[in-house]
Amino acid sequence: MGETFLRCPLRTPCGRVLVSLPPGGEFLLGTPEFVNRTSDQGFCIPIQEVVAVRLGTASSRKEILESTRDENSFTVFFIQREKGECWNLGELEFTAPSTSDLATRWVSALQTWIHYHGVTRPKSLLVFINPVGGRKQAMEIYQSQVAPLFALAGIHAQVVETCHANEARDYILQQDLCGFDGLVSVGGDGTFNEVMHALINRTQQKAGKLKGDVDVELLSPRLRIGIIPAGSTDCVCFATVGTNDPVTSALHIIIGDSQPLDVCSIWHDGMLLRYSVSLTGYGFYGDVVSISEKHRWMGPARYTFAGAKAVLNNRSYEGTVEFQLAESEDTNPRDQSRCRSGCMVCSESSKNLLSGSKEEHLSEFTKQAGGEWHRVHGSFLAVNLTCMSSACPKSPKGLSPCAHLADGTADLILVHKCSVFSFLQHLNRHTNCSDQFDLPFVSVYRVRAVRFTSPKGEDWEGRQEAAQEQNILCGGICQGQPLVSCWTCDGETLNYTDITIRVHGSLIHLFARGIEQQPSTS
């Protein structure tokens, strides 16, 4: 491996520091040469969090790629934690004596250990940019904040700027992806979902998996997905990283973080409809999406308008919910735990999924199908299912604060018929520290599979057409409350009301590590 252990005094902008690279190369350590100084010059930088090392100096982000060539100096670029979950690019410059080749030796040693500890780092990425989604700033965000970081880290990025819907899907399904280590979505949740759907479908097609078999065990894609948040909603990024900051997400991608993620598959009559990683909702959230789609001209404000209208409508829908409870009794949706980076619950679940032969896991859902199905019939304001917390800046705790990213389960939340005031109380608790489930009309379960049946098996699309015809015939005066709502799946509406949902544990992997546990301030 060449010279990998060094220890010598070097000069930094703050003074002389004794710098060492211990055996194993896990950390770059610095100790002030004069310990009686008041300024703190010491440092301990994990090599896994070193983005790059360059010969010469670079005094600002703009000069990263145009650093001054100085054979006696070198610059270490590393991850610097900021307020909250945000990361930034830190820089540390070192100067060696002019009579030595120490700078070159340090650069060589550091690059050796970065390569050794960075086997999961991507070398080539396929980047999809949605220029019109969300805030319409995706291209500018990528070019100004992300591309320079990828270049600094030596990552080759092939950019595809999408011009129409499903362009990313078609590219992923049709093109050769063998030369890439991952896919990157620059946009909102819609862009990510298009990339995710295409990648999962491509993997199943290559493996010859049957689309019409709800019992089929899906295969995990080889490629990881990175999310650069640039949309109106970035729920998946927020729930897996802890912030919607493009630089933070780019740094997670660069150092090769990997976070497994559960995925729900949604079926109707043996037909696969969609995949979901955050919210699959019926009733209130379905109505919100349906109303907002009719008011797209309002821009992002349409979501606030649609939410207010859906609350005031206070519509509840009759239906039957059947579900299979998760086998583990160690966790539940109200245990006050939080899924954080290195979560033991998710780690144990992933180990169980990977252990044993493949054949033992292929029939997992089939075996569970013989288990007990619980049934709840009633009138529901909302039926929600999420396999992550679904946290976002407006709701930092999310729909289900104790949900896990990769434990092979989802949380089913049933909001029974109640008054407008009571429902507002439930919604308001999503924004504060109160327990949104501690209400008599709310019940929550940790599940592996769900079935929903509406009265007489009616579907939303058919009822919409019938309602429009009735409204026309009556001149608009006999418009009644609809019997069925629609399902929303990660922001997209489904045309079918009667569906089956099953959870696939750790089906995909993101360039993320989960939300890091913040140190206690007490």
Q: Which domains does the chain have, with CATH numbers?
A: 7-118 (2.30.29.240), 120-208+216-257 (3.40.50.10330), 263-352+372-505 (2.60.200.40)
189 is catalytic: yes
pLDDT, residue 476, reads 47
pLDDT, residue 5, reads 67
Which residue among 181, 189, 245, 490 is the active-site one? 189
In the chain, % of residues over pLDDT 70: 86
- Reference 168, options 197, 207, 205; nearest CA is 197
Locate all alpha helices (DSSP H) within 72-210, ordered by sequence. 102-117, 138-141, 147-152, 167-174, 189-207
pLDDT, residue 69, reads 64
Burial (Cβ within 10 Å: 0-12, 13-18, ≥19) of residue 141: buried
Three-class SS state of 168: helix
Secondary structure (DSSP) of 357-391: -HHHHHTHHHHHHTSPPEEEEEEEEEEEEESS---
Give the pair of three-digit tokens for residue 3.
């010279």
Give the pair of three-digit tokens for residue 218.
């899906």
pLDDT, residue 478, reads 47
- Measured CA to CA, the distance from residue 390 to residue 278 in angstroms comes to 6
Contact indicator for 245, 266 with CB cutoff of 8 Å: no
**Residues lower than pLDDT 50 in the chain:** 60, 357-367, 369, 466-478, 521-522
- Measured CA to CA, the distance from residue 446 to residue 461 in angstroms comes to 30
The conformation of residue 508, written as its DSSP 8-state character, comes to: E
151 CB-near residues (< 8 Å, 6+ apart): 64, 65
- Reference 145, options 221, 251, 18; nearest CA is 251
Q: Residue 159 is inside which H or E element, if any?
A: strand 156-161
Give the pair of three-digit tokens for residue 274.
């969609």
- Measured CA to CA, the distance from residue 222 to residue 220 in angstroms comes to 7
Three-class SS state of 405: coil
- Reference 89, options 61, 125, 47; nearest CA is 61
- Measured CA to CA, the distance from residue 461 to residue 465 in angstroms comes to 6
Give the pair of three-digit tokens for residue 466.
């019938």
